[in-house]
Structure 1
């Protein structure tokens, strides 16, 4: 279960030590306790542009992130504040305030590009904060966006290095939505004598120029990057919050002391962020939790330390291994926790234990499925099946052991008189064998009346009676009241009864074995069913992701055609067709059956004794229902 978020103030997530970034352990510990989905809002921009004020407003506070009141940049690295998400009890809002870009005191300007890239990689909503209008100077300051493809890769293959804008759709899979916040904005929102919205102002500022000259290419590049990388974008304008001489008191000022227009603009900004921000996801649509965000941050920073470019494909694959192992551990722990709560050993029949096992296994599998992702070879799911089957067998052994212990205790209690008579020689006299048999029957009746002996009741009794066979035979042979023929008949009867008892025990064992085989079949079908349901969810996420990229390309293509950029628009046709083909492949039945068959193959290889009868028919049935 997720712990409630109680962070009275922000803490440093990624510390900037000159030319080196360090992930702070305290922040990782905080994130590791958040097992619910996170919405990550990061803000970037030049220093002394009021970024921290907006982040404090999103946190619902007037202070927290440091507000610089001098020309010196206050925030170094990336600071984090985790707060409960307004009106979303199942999510946590993670706010990331980054150090100001363009600080002249920095020793290495390359750090700014990495800060920008890390904000993009970690966030689901990215706020770019700047002063004044969107002019060429503002675009020049946003040169970091043109360098993203040099600092982020989507694929590990060199032959598919997704460099440049040609494969921008791959970046759209995991890039955040984009908000441009224009501070101290003084212009009138008008164009050609008509009022326009903030969004129209932004889109007009992002229009491209025609031509192939170097100057035109420089003009178009940041605009293309914003348009292609961030198809979902929004613009907000803000008046100056107060007069210049009071700005350094902003943190201590009440809202009533601020410009009313600014207060309203800040409120609208926060509402929009709250309403529209989505959970952070990674390629494939898997939702990021706090603990997974911690792993992402550490993976990115470690990669930068090695002098390498973060590659989403590699990061996701490496995270999947760790996350799937954690999912396996969580599921196993949940199974044991539930079994310890529900099982009262011994059970009277093995089916009772198997029924409880089935309930606990189902919930454990749900825990695994909720956290695991990209378990493409089904290695971890099969390992869970194997582990829970072994745990089940351990409980079966404990069940038998506990039952045997109670049965022997019951026998000791009810057989005391019989044992005393044997020691005293009561049965070593004429008619003694009949008395011994009668006393043994009475003892068995008293034994059967003893409650809560468990599944080993008959097996333990059989063993006890077998141990008394030699005693019975000796008493029979010494009984002078019986003829030889009577002795032969009595011995034959005893053997027949022993054989019948043994047959009953063997029958019970066969029934128990059949029940365990049936339980394995049930387990296998349940795993296939839950895998099918997970496939359906992942398919929907994947198709939505594909549609998102396709929509962005179609929208951009339409805009390019409208502005007369035929060549650029034609270039997008190939990407659009490729996206359509990928969507068709994901929707085709072979895609589903291959995944389901993958589980069957993995089970056969890893658990050769595991029952999987009727697998082909079951997979066909599940595939048809997809």
Structure 2
């Protein structure tokens, strides 16, 4: 993309709406996406930081007046500067709290959508992190009213919803960017880091009214990681109006260094967007999430992450089956030369690209409940195999018929001219036919239908051979009867051999079905183990964050909350123990019936 486009429109007196052109761009990206969204009050320099992340001087609209520039959520998709094979998706949002907006109610939805869509969430503010700044972050305290993690949230013993652990699993990393920061990073006379500054600002006080500490509580409970950056004023107030055109020589050197530090961190540390179970999100699937969440908001519902993931899984799993079948067909067409001499040759090529097709499917599929989509894949792959077998047989039949017609053309001409309808003509016919049959057997490239095609051809010529036999006066009636029996016995032997060949091919196909089943099962079990480890890591991350929060609350004197967290930690520990035990006793899964 040469420049940003509006992804989610927020027009006056209208509901939020997805821009279809932007959606088309996003859904065309099949790479994993690192999604960085920035949110904050209007006129706080969000767009400038995003342009720097894009490594561009211009892009997202800047402005130095009191009027907001960005409306809705704007998107810029770029090749990731540090992660090959990834796309960096930057989301710049309209400023919160603009008094000139006619639909300020959408501010909370813009905030919620930025969290739902991003893997790293940047909150941009001015001055310092103080009580005023936290009060301006009231949108974070409304998240449980704007976002549901589960369609049926779990309740604790007191009937209260226990969402913090679920939010930790699904929420992005939190980065607080403090602009025009003028204080010294010191605490009690000792230097502190930016992160320590943030953590100190988020300390809760037991005697404070709950409302005062609510934003702190929410940031600490909902986000899996926190990071802070402070920035000096970039230039003089007079020069701010031309910030994007200012040469670096006119910018504050400390500010430039801070921006480079911020960009380096985001480029190197910001992770790809993932959803439940650690499934990596591509631009295509992110586009589906955008539509699902905006549609929910427009219909008056609260966006539900679980429902969105289930809906996305259905779309992605259907696409995964299609991708796998498309891959299989393309590779088979490229590498399978028809007709094959044996069924084994075809099955060998099939096995190779079926294995790869299953990998293609599993790379995209997720939450395939009861393995229904993989069963569908197995059914379709088997149908495609039968289709290639049929094509192989037809190609072989066509080739054999053409060869036989060409080889026996002069015999047909001799028969038509009556050359064999003379004394001793039958023996001459047998010699000529034997010569042609030897040539037929030696000719390569006939394929698996060589015997059957020959049997059918000779059957079609039986009447002509019999007429030559009966017309040969040099043979006695007894000799003719013996010859008839000999021909019949040869035909019977060929049929028996053909039947045996068909039986062997049926056995090979049955063995192929069992091999295919085991291949599906082996890859599925490996995928399930990989998913189990991801879910286990997810649980461990939540437990570690809760343990860290428990320590903070103990220091701050919140005994009741500490006790509540302890119960949650114990429940998580039990879940983790069950997951670890299940790793060594995975049950056999039926993939293909």
TM-score when normalising by structure 1 = 0.92
Query: What corresponds to 1:388 in structure 2?
Result: 381
State the Cα distance separating 1:136 from its structure 2 match. 1.1
- The reply on whether 1:456 has 2:452 as its aligned counterpart is no
For 2:488, which of 486, 495, 507 is the aligned residue?
A: 495
Query: What corresponds to 1:618 in structure 2?
Result: none
Query: What corresponds to 1:139 in structure 2?
Result: 134
The Cα offsets for residues 418-476 of structure 1, whole Å up to 9 and x where unpaired, read as 11122222222222222222211111112223332211111111111111222222222
Moved more, 467-476 or 160-169: 160-169
For 1:93, which of 88, 92, 101 is the aligned residue?
A: 88
State the Cα distance separating 1:592 from its structure 2 match. 6.0
For 2:168, which of 150, 168, 172 is the aligned residue?
A: 172
Q: Kindly indicate whether the alpha-carbon contact (under 8 Å) linking 1:150 and 1:163 is maintained by their aligned counterparts in 2.
A: no
State the Cα distance separating 1:591 from its structure 2 match. 9.0
Query: What corresponds to 2:6 in structure 1?
Result: 12
The Cα offsets for residues 103-150 of structure 1, whole Å up to 9 and x where unpaired, read as 001223221100000000000000000000111110110000000011
Query: What corresponds to 1:41 in structure 2?
Result: 36
Query: What corresponds to 1:569 in structure 2?
Result: 562
- The reply on whether 1:76 has 2:71 as its aligned counterpart is yes
State the Cα distance separating 1:590 from its structure 2 match. 8.1
- The reply on whether 1:102 has 2:97 as its aligned counterpart is yes
Aligned counterparts of 2:469 and 2:574: Cα–Cα separation in 1: 87
The Cα offsets for residues 344-383 of structure 1, whole Å up to 9 and x where unpaired, read as 1111111111111111111111110000000011111011
State the Cα distance separating 1:163 from its structure 2 match. 10
Q: For residue 27 of structure 1, give the secondary structure of its aligned residue in structure 2.
A: helix
State the Cα distance separating 1:261 from its structure 2 match. 0.5
Aligned counterparts of 1:143 and 1:294: Cα–Cα separation in 2: 28
Aligned counterparts of 1:488 and 1:577: Cα–Cα separation in 2: 94
Q: For residue 181 of structure 1, give the secondary structure of its aligned residue in structure 2.
A: strand
**Superposition pairs of residues 174-213 of structure 1, within 5 angstroms:** 174-211=170-207
Moved more, 238-247 or 21-30: 21-30
State the Cα distance separating 1:477 from its structure 2 match. 2.6
**Superposition pairs of residues 298-313 of structure 1, within 5 angstroms:** 298-313=291-306
Aligned counterparts of 1:166 and 1:393: Cα–Cα separation in 2: 52
Aligned residues: 591
Aligned counterparts of 1:174 and 1:518: Cα–Cα separation in 2: 45
Aligned counterparts of 1:376 and 1:584: Cα–Cα separation in 2: 23
**Superposition pairs of residues 366-385 of structure 1, within 5 angstroms:** 366-385=359-378
The Cα offsets for residues 68-87 of structure 1, whole Å up to 9 and x where unpaired, read as 12111000000011111112
The Cα offsets for residues 223-266 of structure 1, whole Å up to 9 and x where unpaired, read as 10001112410111110000101101101012221000000011
Query: What corresponds to 1:423 in structure 2?
Result: 416
Q: Does the C-alpha gap of structure 1 residues 20 and 55 become closer, same or farther in structure 2, counting only changes over 3 Å?
A: same
Aligned counterparts of 2:574 and 2:47: Cα–Cα separation in 1: 44
State the Cα distance separating 1:314 from its structure 2 match. 0.7
Query: What corresponds to 2:497 in structure 1?
Result: 504
Q: Kindly indicate whether the alpha-carbon contact (under 8 Å) linking 1:11 and 1:27 is maintained by their aligned counterparts in 2.
A: yes
Aligned counterparts of 1:171 and 1:591: Cα–Cα separation in 2: 29
Aligned counterparts of 2:53 and 2:437: Cα–Cα separation in 1: 76
Aligned counterparts of 2:441 and 2:159: Cα–Cα separation in 1: 79
List gaps (5 residues or longer) in structure 2.
none
Aligned counterparts of 1:478 and 1:260: Cα–Cα separation in 2: 112
Aligned counterparts of 2:8 and 2:570: Cα–Cα separation in 1: 40
Q: Does the C-alpha gap of structure 1 residues 263 and 164 become closer, same or farther in structure 2, counting only changes over 3 Å?
A: farther
State the Cα distance separating 1:478 from its structure 2 match. 2.9
Aligned counterparts of 1:317 and 1:109: Cα–Cα separation in 2: 31
Moved more, 97-106 or 194-203: 194-203
Query: What corresponds to 1:284 in structure 2?
Result: 277
Q: Kindly indicate whether the alpha-carbon contact (under 8 Å) linking 1:34 and 1:291 is maintained by their aligned counterparts in 2.
A: yes
Q: Kindly indicate whether the alpha-carbon contact (under 8 Å) linking 2:154 and 2:161 is maintained by their aligned counterparts in 1.
A: no
Aligned counterparts of 1:404 and 1:100: Cα–Cα separation in 2: 72
For 1:218, which of 206, 211, 215 is the aligned residue?
A: 211
Aligned counterparts of 1:202 and 1:57: Cα–Cα separation in 2: 23
List gaps (5 residues or longer) in structure 1.
1-6, 605-626
Query: What corresponds to 2:107 in structure 1?
Result: 112
The Cα RMSD (Å) is 1.7
- The reply on whether 1:544 has 2:537 as its aligned counterpart is yes
State the Cα distance separating 1:564 from its structure 2 match. 1.9
Aligned counterparts of 2:75 and 2:159: Cα–Cα separation in 1: 31
Aligned counterparts of 2:336 and 2:520: Cα–Cα separation in 1: 23
The Cα offsets for residues 557-586 of structure 1, whole Å up to 9 and x where unpaired, read as 011112222211111012112212222232
State the Cα distance separating 1:164 from its structure 2 match. 7.5
The Cα offsets for residues 10-43 of structure 1, whole Å up to 9 and x where unpaired, read as 1111111234111111111111221111100000
The Cα offsets for residues 540-559 of structure 1, whole Å up to 9 and x where unpaired, read as 11111111101100000011
Query: What corresponds to 2:19 in structure 1?
Result: 24
TM-score when normalising by structure 2 = 0.97
The Cα offsets for residues 387-442 of structure 1, whole Å up to 9 and x where unpaired, read as 11111111111111111111111111110111112222222222222222221111
Q: For residue 170 of structure 2, give the secondary structure of its aligned residue in structure 1.
A: coil
Q: Kindly indicate whether the alpha-carbon contact (under 8 Å) linking 2:153 and 2:161 is maintained by their aligned counterparts in 1.
A: no
Aligned counterparts of 2:94 and 2:432: Cα–Cα separation in 1: 91
Aligned counterparts of 1:392 and 1:203: Cα–Cα separation in 2: 61
Q: Kindly indicate whether the alpha-carbon contact (under 8 Å) linking 1:149 and 1:163 is maintained by their aligned counterparts in 2.
A: no
Q: Kindly indicate whether the alpha-carbon contact (under 8 Å) linking 1:149 and 1:164 is maintained by their aligned counterparts in 2.
A: no
Aligned counterparts of 2:52 and 2:138: Cα–Cα separation in 1: 28
Q: Kindly indicate whether the alpha-carbon contact (under 8 Å) linking 2:155 and 2:162 is maintained by their aligned counterparts in 1.
A: no
The Cα offsets for residues 128-186 of structure 1, whole Å up to 9 and x where unpaired, read as 00000111110110000000011111111266599987320101111001111110011
